[in-house]
Structure 1
């Protein structure tokens, strides 16, 4: 069941609500530059296992409205809060991939984890996707600037290049094309603005404010959010568990989907 949730007077967010009567609820936030459809292979299986799976399209992406502004972590976290409030969600597992993981972390800190009983982070872009003074673990900021410039100059080629970094395992050309099409659904200005956010913003203080059990799933071959980021998150988030994915890059939810689904559901049932 798909519908829209108004998060600002002139901005609506698309929500896909699968198995609304499910026994437990998982709210998924997708990564850059995709949409909720990236979790197709979780929606397929987990709903059959009795879970309610809610996927939202971040503003600017997928079927959501595409305003010219509102792409900071604070605003994206506020959008999630609007969905939680309007749907009256309680005792949920909040899951986020890549920038979606960073948004989930900001949500936990900014909104005191409202409605969330467990947090799951998948290749999350935290505490900083880029290298900083006293933080040598991320990508060079220049690499993200190249993505931004590519977005404005030749977005399809930028998406192709990024897609080559998304997965570690070989996939079929049709699947690669599918990920590419998900990226094309976004607005160019939203794609660039979000890249600016994960280049320039950080979440070091946010990690200290997370007070629910947290599962960190991360591919050891991740070329986007490097694996040392996961190790830092595990050290800084209380009551957290890190599960490395030995045969995955950034797209671990697809590359090792059976292991991914197993680890996530076991965590929810603990």
Structure 2
């Protein structure tokens, strides 16, 4: 099993498929690197090196008691990039993963980065703040944490409906729902809860001001988890020269429901680099 050791000793698992220009994927909550299997296989078969890691506390990575904050997540990505000596890497972040690749650029710069892709990402701010009242109300995140602590398995099972839009006309297989629940339950409960605090309270605006690489923003128009109007739309407006694609009626989990469309859009973006 491939791992690197982060600065604090935490073992971070990663998968590394194919050869060619590297693409590094950062997963969403409460998933792990396996969410990217379709995209990784598709790109590796077309001459790219696809790399995805399990965020600390999730999947096959260690489950430390602390460190579930974006400065640490960005540091873990930096440790992975430097350990593998990646150059001209395209960073792809989904949902909360969009935050850690953005924070990586904010803290470590773009010398090794060829491009950035934000998919249904929590940038620039997900939760409500004094100077960002349009963000999601804090009570929503309080409810999520309470649900996880009371009955995580049932909460995640119920969460899948708005995540994949099955309550709004989308269809996913029973296998996908089973896999989603299984992946979520592999994670540290402490890490799962602490990440809710991290992605709901972190302000990425200063990091986004430092983005100076070609950027693609993709969001679903019917995202019930990370609302497009206050995240993806604003992010695309903030990042100079970025391209925005809005998937009509797509849910948050469009990497599954719109798999083929996403794969082709990623390939087109990569070919232009």
Residues 144-223 of structure 1 aligned to structure 2 (within 5 Å) = 144-168=141-165, 169-223=170-224
Residue range with higher mean Cα deviation, 154-163 or 23-32: 154-163
2:44 counterpart residue number: 47
Q: Deviations over 1:113-158 (max 9, x none)?
A: 2411100011001111112234244321111111111222211122
User: How many pairs does the alignment contain?
Assistant: 267
Q: Distance in 2 between matches of 1:251 and 1:113?
A: 28
Tell me the residue number matched to 2:247.
Answer: 245
Match of 1:17 in 2: 16
For 2:46 and 2:133, the matched residues in 1 are separated by: 41
Distance 2:128 2:79 in 1: 32
The list of structure 1 runs, each at least 4 consecutive aligned residues, that deviate by more than 6 angstroms after superposition, is none
Residue 174 of structure 1 and its aligned partner are, at CA, apart by 2.1
Cross-structure match for 2:95: 98
Distance in 2, matches of 1:47 and 1:247, equals 29
The partner residue of 1:107 within 104, 108, 122 is 104
Aligned to 1:125: 122
Whole-Å Cα distance in 2 between the matches of residues 262 and 89 of structure 1?
A: 23
| Equivalent residues of 2:217, 2:242 under 8 A apart | yes
In structure 2, C-alpha distance between the alignment counterparts of 1:115 and 1:150, rounded to whole Å:
40
Question: Is the 8 Å Cα contact of residues 215 and 241 (structure 2) preserved in structure 1?
Answer: yes
Q: CA deviation at 1:76?
A: 0.3
Deviation at residue 230 of structure 1 after TM alignment: 0.8
- SS of corresponding position for 2:191: helix
Distance in 2 (CA, whole Å) between partners of 1:262 and 1:141 is 36
Unaligned runs of 5+ in 2: none
Give the deviation of 1:225 after TM superposition: 0.9
In 2, the alpha carbon distance for the partners of 1:188 and 1:122 equals: 25
Residue by residue over 1:201-243, the C-alpha shift from the partner in whole angstroms, topping out at 9 and shown as x without a partner, is: 2111111110101000111111111111111001111121110
In 1, Cα distance between equivalents of 2:6 and 2:40? 24
Aligned residue in 1 for 2:79: 82
Q: SS state of the match for residue 146, structure 1?
A: helix
TM-score (norm 1): 0.96
Unaligned runs of 5+ in 1: none
Shift of 1:46: 1.4
Give the match's secondary structure for 2:6. strand
- TM-superposition CA deviations, 1:71-101 (whole Å, max 9, x none): 1110000000000001000001000000000
SS across alignment from 1:8: coil
Distance 2:161 2:136 in 1: 16
